[in-house]
Amino acid sequence: MSDTIDRIRLSLVRVPLPVPVSDAKVLTGRQRPMTEVAVLLAEVGTAEGRTGLGFGYAKRAGGDGQFAHAREIAPVLLGTDPSDTGRRWTELAWAGATVGRSGLAAQAIAPLDIALWDLKARRAGLPLAKLLGAYRESVRCYNTSGGFLHEPVEAVCANASAALAAGIGGVKVKVGQPDTAADLRRVAVVREHLGAGVPLMVDANQQWDRPTARRMGRALEEFGLEWIEEPLDAYDTAGHAALAAALDTPVASGEMLAGAAEHAALIEYDAVDVVQPDAARIGGVTPFLTVATLAHHRHLRLAPHFAMEIHLHLAAAYPTEPWVEHFEWLEPLFAERIEIADGRMAVPTRPGLGLTPTDQARAWTVATAEFTA
């Protein structure tokens, strides 16, 4: 008889940020500064004593909702074989089908699905990347956490230098301010500081309309950017497609989409050059692999959003050279650290995701739910 799931623990953890963080959505009045990240940890155990760990997250809103929905659907896993990851994902989706298969519903599934994949890799004695079929032992990485708009450009330049000194290979800075001239000055200063050889990306966080995105895209061409990220509303597929066709600079998007089907539309209509799925937002590893297959079929570049602890493994299993985004925000939750050198993150050699929750993660936990067979 196959080993079966006999216990599940969900933990809602609130991770405080050192300082309030602002991107363009704050400067345009659409959101408040970010002060914390809500993380939903899922620990799935089996009758033979094995455990898998997964997590998802929410920024500004949604953490309580994810926890509540995960608590409703998690019991369907009890007594089932954790190796059947696709079947388990479908069961979780149907358990919450009345609220849909994207958005918060998918985000509540993600920690459980990721935990099942972590468990499967641990049982095999392999890092998740190796279980999936890795194409490389390390992945190019770039830093985002040092490039937010609450910091003056001098601080952004200092942060960029520190990131490069730490072995990170590229830098992304936030744009999308109401004053587009200020954006261009900011990018010009950072590019001059870095020099022409360092990969540089910009991220407008969906704050431009179509005419502004065209004008800014043309003005930014001179800086030799790796990509322009989220220049338009995340669901403006036609606008992204027209912009991508008009610019030499690659267009990137996808992080805000909350399901594999939404990414399929972005990919089908050639709306991006760089696709940016987020496993925690689209429902876990299972739908991420669907998106990655579609993206590779259309010869797109891959640069998963946030959650480097998960996406390092998934990016290593993408056929063409991807990027992984460096954020240190979640590091206090886990005992292990990712090795970074020469512009790349090394894929951990530990089984599964290679992560262990810390005492600090337990201390920041504000709610738990446990289920047993």
Known binding residue 205? Answer is yes
Per-residue exposure over 187-209, b if at least 16 CB sit within 10 Å of its own CB, e if not: bebbbebbeeebbbbbbbbbbbe
Known binding residue 36? Answer is no
Known binding residue 87? Answer is no
Instruction: Judge contact between 288 and 313, C-beta under 8 A.
Output: no
Instruction: State whether residue 165 is helix, strand or coil.
Output: helix
Known binding residue 24? Answer is yes
Known binding residue 120? Answer is no
Q: In the 8-state DSSP scheme, what is residue 279?
A: H
Rounded CA separation 116/106 (Å): 15
Known binding residue 159? Answer is no
- Active-site residue among 120, 130, 305, 311? 305
CA distances from 136 to 128, 171, 284, 362 (A): 13, 22, 22, 34
Known binding residue 221? Answer is no
Asked about 305 being catalytic, the answer comes back as yes
- Active-site residue among 69, 130, 174, 263? 174
Asked about 193 being catalytic, the answer comes back as no
233 C-beta neighbours (distance < 10 Å), count: 16
Rounded CA separation 189/186 (Å): 5
Whole-angstrom distance between the N-terminal and C-terminal Cα of the chain? 16
**Which DSSP helix (H) or strand (E) runs through 286?**
helix 285-297
Rounded CA separation 281/325 (Å): 15
Pairing of strands 301-302, 5-21: unpaired
Known binding residue 25? Answer is yes
CA distances from 31 to 28, 153, 175, 207, 289 (A): 8, 22, 15, 12, 31
Known binding residue 242? Answer is no
The residue among 145, 143, 148, 187 whose CA lies nearest residue 167 is 143
In the sheet where 365-372 sits, what is the strand order? 51-59, 34-46, 5-21, 365-372
Known binding-site positions: 23-25, 59-60, 172, 203, 205, 229, 255, 325
Known binding-site positions for substrate: 23-25, 59-60, 172, 205, 325
Please list the active-site residues: 174, 305
